[in-house]
Structure 1
Amino acid sequence: MVLVCGYYGFGNWGDEASLEAVVRAFGSDRCTVATADPLRSRHPHSVARYPSVQFGQALEKATSLVLGGGSLLQDATSLRSLVYYVSLIRAGQRKTKRVGLVLQGLGPFRRRISRAMVRWALRDVGHLSVRDEASLALLKSIGVRQEAILGSDATFALEMPSEQKTNIAILSPRPWPATDPASAFTKLAVKMKADGLEPCLIAMQANEDLPLCRQIAQESGCAVLGPFETLQELLRAFAQASAVVAMRLHAGIFAAKAGTAPLLIAYDPKVSALQSMLGLEGRLSMNGFAPDSLIDAWQAHWAQQTRLNERLIVSAASAEQRALAALEKAKSFVGI
């Protein structure tokens, strides 16, 4: 049995999709999932992720411990979060389990102690794959000697539903300090309507994004899609969209999987890494982010949407193959 750990059960669709990709690769009957909310993660074999009798028993029974997908080793969220995941790795190692990190995004590490903790935790890890070149370079820069496999995000391994494209344009904002995404996305939605599109908002992490999405919807007159009961429902929405503007990483990945080149707003290095991986143009960062800059970027992007979609075919297919290959190697490591 493989004990799979990550940022699961918190209502983040990107992390739940990463879990789905890992569990599908390993086989659900071979996995126990540590999650904050077993009902939300919808896995038949789930245990509470926080220190508990259940979790301890699951670790004892497991032959392998896997941290699957996401950006788990970073201290931008908090140092406490990093300590938690490092402690999981070390707990598995103390129990002499096979410990692997699968298709991880690494960093940022803003503290010296964070870099030291990660270097220490990864020294005896049996399997390590990362989702982008930036994570690979960061590992080397902090002195991690463990060999790492370059893959892509785990969600690239998922199959997208086949849907007819519509005039829907998906907007995926998130709150960000010292910026005004509400004003920027509201003006963008109004512009999209004038261009003949139907802008719709999706909250990729409801507890953080939904109030912002509702504010934008109220001010612009567009709709908030959802709530989605299943991952497939969410993926169908992305499959139907002709345009996607996203701050959230996995909104961009789902768009790419559906053949729609997204306009990404790089609030975090992981979004910049995705832009580079997919060869996307028109990079927009949070530095100097303003309504006019988003409108200008959107107009330039939309004017070449068809060409960008064609270019995306090769890079998205390559990302999918790297994710599938890395998951196959992870399966071999855990003995499946």
Structure 2
Amino acid sequence: MRAVLIGNYGVGNLGDEALKEYFLKRFPDVKWSVLSANPQEGEFHRLPAGLRSLMRPWWRTLRVLRKSEGVVFGGGSLFTDTESVYACLLWWWHAFVARLFGKQLHLAFQGIGPFRTRLGEACARWVVKRAASISVRDTHSFNRIAGWEKNTKVVQTGDPVIVLIQAENTGGSSKNVLIIIPRHNSNERFIKRAQDLSQEYQWDEIHTLSLQPEDSGEQNVCQRMSEVCSGEGQVRCVYTLEGLSREVMEGSFILTQRYHGALAAIVLGKEYEVLEQKEGDKLSSLRG
């Protein structure tokens, strides 16, 4: 079977890359064509959604879409405009072109919503209505689309990365370590909570984990974390799920604004706290 795998791949985000790894390993009999923001060998560019992307060889992507048997939107919270409505437009555009070629759409392990705009929700509704299969990874998403028009039953599952985290469940530390896992756009509320935690307890070490180390916004946030923790915090760049599991295992308490940071804490049995960006977002379903 030939299938096109679509997700927020190629932007240096550990969680999204782990999701891609899951599909490639779990379904080796599928001949995958992966679409990426920065394609590696054997991968393809996303369809153009701006002037700059028109200069990339997107026609090769049209070719693999035409030859495929279906399109899989693989994991993550693709259809939400919490950060930008552009995301919903981008993934809708890929679904629209796939349907022009007559290809089936499959939403796998998705987080859907919340939405700030009517346009973002309209894009998501359009795709959900035309999907041949839908699985969502959290109760909020399941309830949110319960009343939407659909042509298939919605299955509530979980995040498949759990399987990979369980496989890496090794190690540990006897030290009292605070682990902070921010996002590139973590707000003052999260930064203030990190500062309060750093001062409320006697920590042996404070580690700030960067799961998107190449992002300039995340670099600035991590630097800020080190400053508010009285300069005692260590910034650690994490590039793999194995690395995330190892770092979380060292922690005594995990403060996170990243979904897979919270997921790792849960799977590895760590005490944790999440601060969602918006009520009802993907982190809301993982509150301890």
Task: Report what 1:202 is aligned to.
Answer: 209
**Relative to 1, partners in 2 of residues 1:23 and 1:224: Cα closer, same or farther, differing over 3 Å?**
farther
Match status 1:62 vs 2:68: yes
**Relative to 1, partners in 2 of residues 1:239 and 1:23: Cα closer, same or farther, differing over 3 Å?**
farther
Length-normalised TM-score, structure 1: 0.73
Equivalences, count: 269
**Which region of structure 1 is more displaced relative to structure 2, 223-232 or 93-102?**
223-232
1:256-335 mapped onto 2 (5 Å cutoff): 256-268=266-278, 269-275=281-287, 280=288
Describe the SS at the equivalent of 1:141.
coil
1:91-240 mapped onto 2 (5 Å cutoff): 91-144=97-150, 146-158=152-164, 159-166=166-173, 167=175, 168-174=177-183, 175-177=185-187, 179-192=188-201, 194=202, 196-206=203-213, 207=215, 208-219=217-228, 220-240=230-250
Structure-1 separation of matches of 2:274 and 2:262? 7
The answer to which structure has the higher helix fraction is: 1
**Relative to 1, partners in 2 of residues 1:77 and 1:181: Cα closer, same or farther, differing over 3 Å?**
closer
Task: Report what 2:81 is aligned to.
Answer: 75
**Which region of structure 1 is more displaced relative to structure 2, 78-87 or 166-175?**
166-175
Length-normalised TM-score, structure 2: 0.84
Kept in 1, the 8 Å contact 2:4–2:34? The answer is yes
Structure-2 separation of matches of 1:113 and 1:89? 15
Task: Report what 2:47 is aligned to.
Answer: 50
The answer to which structure has the higher strand fraction is: 2
| Displacement after TM superposition at 1:247 (Å) | 1.4
Match status 1:88 vs 2:94: yes
Describe the SS at the equivalent of 1:212.
helix
Kept in 1, the 8 Å contact 2:3–2:31? The answer is yes
Structure-2 separation of matches of 1:68 and 1:145? 19
- Name structure 1 gaps, 5 residues minimum: 281-336
One-letter amino acid of the structure 2 residue matched with residue 213 of structure 1? C
**Relative to 1, partners in 2 of residues 1:250 and 1:97: Cα closer, same or farther, differing over 3 Å?**
same
Structure-1 separation of matches of 2:275 and 2:191? 14
Describe the SS at the equivalent of 2:76.
coil
Structure-2 separation of matches of 1:133 and 1:140? 10
Kept in 1, the 8 Å contact 2:180–2:207? The answer is yes
Structure-2 separation of matches of 1:172 and 1:229? 13
- Name structure 2 gaps, 5 residues minimum: 49-57
| Displacement after TM superposition at 1:28 (Å) | 8.1
Describe the SS at the equivalent of 1:186.
helix
% identical equivalent positions: 25
1:61-90 deviation digits (Å, cap 9, x = unpaired) = 322210001111112222222111112112
**Relative to 1, partners in 2 of residues 1:113 and 1:229: Cα closer, same or farther, differing over 3 Å?**
closer
Task: Report what 1:292 is aligned to.
Answer: none
